[in-house]
């Protein structure tokens, strides 16, 4: 049976108020229009819904049964509408972010602190993965956005927004402090033991491509999973590490580690937000991106 939902809405309001005239006022329409809607519904259902009384209208037995079910459905609609408005007003909702351990610790966490202070009702889920894993999660609909190291290979399915420029650099501990003087060639630098990130990271790909563009192939003595470990291994004199300079300012200032300047300057790159192109996002996601950009 194909019944217009608006007819059930009129029925619900009439039954709730017990009056055609009150229902008309609540529905911002005329009494004849309300009466006509009830007649149409009764015709479609094949039975009487109301009995007229001196004080208004009263549900029939069949009408009362119908009302109990319609009342539940109407309540769900109102709840859904309320939840929608809450999400629009950032009083509810969720934010699912994919980010690497390094970017989470040194970049994202301060923005998360700012965001949660402004929108405490939004539930935040953070997944720590590599850039390539984050892109897979995005395409699978398991996260709303990814905070990643750029550049990445062109992917027409992604919308990328640059948020911060960063600079990579080589670092050493006191054992190799003598390398931190005058600029040194990359060819000379790789004669020393290298400690680099594992190959499955975008940062490692970036530094490998940089070296290859200058005719050098990087063959590290040690490969590690996090920037924190790269810094610690450099401190212990286990080799030359490559890290993001913006994230180790305190260690450089305290001279726990030292920057090695290479003649072949490492290009700047950026941190960015990745989203699926053409996919609508919630207000919670839009506001978080605004926080990152501003």
Of 95, 80, 99, nearest to 287 by C-alpha is 95
Question: Which residue has tokens 């402090």?
Answer: 177
**Paired tokens of 11:** 């029925």
Q: What is the pLDDT of residue 281?
A: 83
**Paired tokens of 103:** 């970017």
**Paired tokens of 14:** 């009439």
Q: How far is CA 226 from CA 102, 103, 171, 190, in A?
A: 7, 10, 15, 21
Q: What is the pLDDT of residue 171?
A: 97
* Cβ contacts of 162 within 8 Å, gap of 6 or more: 150, 270, 271, 272
- The 3-class SS string of 95-109 reads EEEEECHHHHHHHHH
Question: Could you give all domains of the chain from N- to C-terminal order, each with its CATH number?
Answer: 5-88 (1.10.10.10), 94-165+271-293 (3.40.190.10), 168-267 (3.40.190.10)
E strand or H helix that includes residue 5: helix 5-17
Of 45, 9, 44, nearest to 29 by C-alpha is 9
Residue 17: burial class (beta carbons within 10 Å; 0-12, 13-18, 19+): middle
**Paired tokens of 231:** 């810094």
C-beta of residue 186 within 8 angstroms of C-beta of residue 261? no
Supply the pTM of this predicted model: 0.71
Of 54, 13, 66, 60, nearest to 35 by C-alpha is 13
pLDDT tens sequence for the chain (294 residues): 566 889 999 999 999 999 999 999 999 999 999 999 999 999 999 999 999 998 889 999 999 999 999 988 888 887 777 777 777 777 778 889 999 999 999 999 999 999 999 999 889 999 999 888 999 998 888 899 999 998 887 668 899 999 999 999 999 999 999 999 889 999 999 999 999 999 878 899 999 999 999 999 999 999 999 999 999 999 999 999 999 999 999 999 999 999 999 999 999 999 999 998 888 888 888 889 999 988
**Paired tokens of 222:** 């040690």
Q: What is the pLDDT of residue 154?
A: 65
C-beta of residue 241 within 8 angstroms of C-beta of residue 190? no
Q: Using CA atoms, how far apart are residues 138 and 127, in angstroms rounded to an integer? A: 11
């Amino acid at each position: 049976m194909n019944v217009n939902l608006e007819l059930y809405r009129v029925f619900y309001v009439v039954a709730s108020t017990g009056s055609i005239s009150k229902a008309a006022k609540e529905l911002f329409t005329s009494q004849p229009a309300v009466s006509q809607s009830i007649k149409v519904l009764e015709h479609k259902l094949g039975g009487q819904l109301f009995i007229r009384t001196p004080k208004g209208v009263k549900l029939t037995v069949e009408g009362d049964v119908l009302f109990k079910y319609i009342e539940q459905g109407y309540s769900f609609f109102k709840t859904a509408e309320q939840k929608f408005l809450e999400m629009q007003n950032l009083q509810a909702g969720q934010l699912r972010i994919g980010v690497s351990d390094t970017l989470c610790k040194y970049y994202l966490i301060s923005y998360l602190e700012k965001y949660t202070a402004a929108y405490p009702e939004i539930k935040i889920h953070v997944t720590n993965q590599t850039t390539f894993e984050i892109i897979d999660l995005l395409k699978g609909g398991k996260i709303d956005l990814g905070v990643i190291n750029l550049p990445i290979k062109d992917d027409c399915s992604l919308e990328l927004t640059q948020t911060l420029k960063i600079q990579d650099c080589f670092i050493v501990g006191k054992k190799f402090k003598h390398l931190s003087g005058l600029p040194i060639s990359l060819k000379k630098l790789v004669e020393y033991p290298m400690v680099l990130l594992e190959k499955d990271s975008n940062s490692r790909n970036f530094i490998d491509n940089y070296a290859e563009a200058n005719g050098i192939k990087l063959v590290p003595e040690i490969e590690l999973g996090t920037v924190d470990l790269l810094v610690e291994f450099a401190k212990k004199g286990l080799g030359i590490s490559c890290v993001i300079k913006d994230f180790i300012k305190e260690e450089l200032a305290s001279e726990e580690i030292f920057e090695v300047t290479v003649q072949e300057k490492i290009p700047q790159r950026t941190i960015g937000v990745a989203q699926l192109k053409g996919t609508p996002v919630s207000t919670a996601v839009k506001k978080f991106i605004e926080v990152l950009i501003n």
